Structure 1
Amino acid sequence: MTNFLSFTGRVMGIEDFPIMTNDPNAGCYKLFSLTDRDGSIVNFVVEPTTYFVRHEKVRVGDIVTGYYDANAPVPLIYPPQYRAIVMAKVHSDYSVEVSFFNSQLLSSDGMLRLNPSRQTEIILENGQDFNGNPASRDLVVIYSVSTRSIPAQTTPSTIIVLC
């Protein structure tokens, strides 16, 4: 179970992030610098294992949300720098939620309950079908509408299981 937190902002820069000198993986790690509406800045280290929702390519100027593990160690620097687990472009036609969903498919913050239907696509990060139960797992959920109740309820279009 991962304790996900997020930061949403406009991508102000993308650059290579060397993890060691004479790095054989040079170019495989990136540093995304994001700025929100209030001018706060956060840097995300994007690794080869970072999941990009819908495998969308992110460019400077895009508005994205980066999700990271709130319990992971971070360097005490400014601006803060987090290891990105999931990156999602912000779109007006759908929403993304990344969270641990319990046995009742309720998000860890108690604000979203999933009601999957037969049309809900349940897949792995690599796009292959997931045939098990998505409950009690870390999930990326893509949905378009939800109720205004607390918790909000939705029938997602896609659930991505983070293994």
Structure 2
Amino acid sequence: MVNFFSFRGTVTEISDFIIGANGEGEGCYTLMSVDNGAGASVNFVVSPSTYFVNQEMVSVGDTITGYYDGDAPVPLIYPPQYRALIVVKDDPYQNIKVDYFNNQLVSRDGQLQLNLSPFTPISLRNGQPFTKSIANRNLIVSYGPTTRSIPAQTTPYWVIVWC
């Protein structure tokens, strides 16, 4: 189970990131610098396996939220450098929640509860349908309006299961 942490900010730079001594993978990895406007910045290593929600193209000036494994080791450098697992480009018309949802479909942070409809599309990252229970799993959830309760409740637009 991934312990998702996030960082939200504006992309200030995108550059090639070389791995390996002989340049293997050249052009496949990028370093995305993100600044939150309050004095904090991070670098995200974006790999071919980084999942971009809605396959959005990201460029300098875009506001994004990058999700990474909070339990993964990171080099002790400044700014911090994290391996991006999921990148979400801001969209004023939808909310995205990336978290572990328990057997009551409440997020780990206790802020959101899902009320699935029979018509809610549920799939894997590769777009294939997911037919098992989504309880007790890491999920990427797109949703709109919520109740004012705690936790807020919503019927998601779609759910992606992060296996």
Cα drift, residue 122 of structure 1: 0.5
Structure 2 alignment gaps of length 5 or more = none
Matches within 5 A, 1:63-82: 63-82=63-82
**Who is 2:41 aligned against?**
41
Task: List 4+ stretches of structure 1 deviating above 4 A.
Answer: none
Percent identical pairs in the alignment equals 55
Deviations 1:62-98 (A, max 9, x none): 1000001111101110001111110000111111000
Query: Which letter maps to 1:66?
Result: G
**Who is 1:134 aligned against?**
134
Q: TM-score, normalised by structure 2?
A: 0.97
Alpha-carbon distance between aligned partners in 2 of 1:17 and 1:99, rounded to the nearest angstrom = 28
How many equivalent residue pairs? Answer: 163
**Who is 1:20 aligned against?**
20
Deviations 1:124-147 (A, max 9, x none): 111111111111111100001111
Root-mean-square deviation over aligned CA pairs: 0.9
Contact persistence 2:137–2:161 (CA under 8 A): yes
Contact persistence 1:119–1:157 (CA under 8 A): no
Alpha-carbon distance between aligned partners in 2 of 1:50 and 1:12, rounded to the nearest angstrom = 19
Q: TM-score, normalised by structure 1?
A: 0.97
Structure 1 alignment gaps of length 5 or more = none
Matches within 5 A, 1:57-136: 57-136=57-136
Deviations 1:108-162 (A, max 9, x none): 1111111111221101111111111111111100001111111111100010111
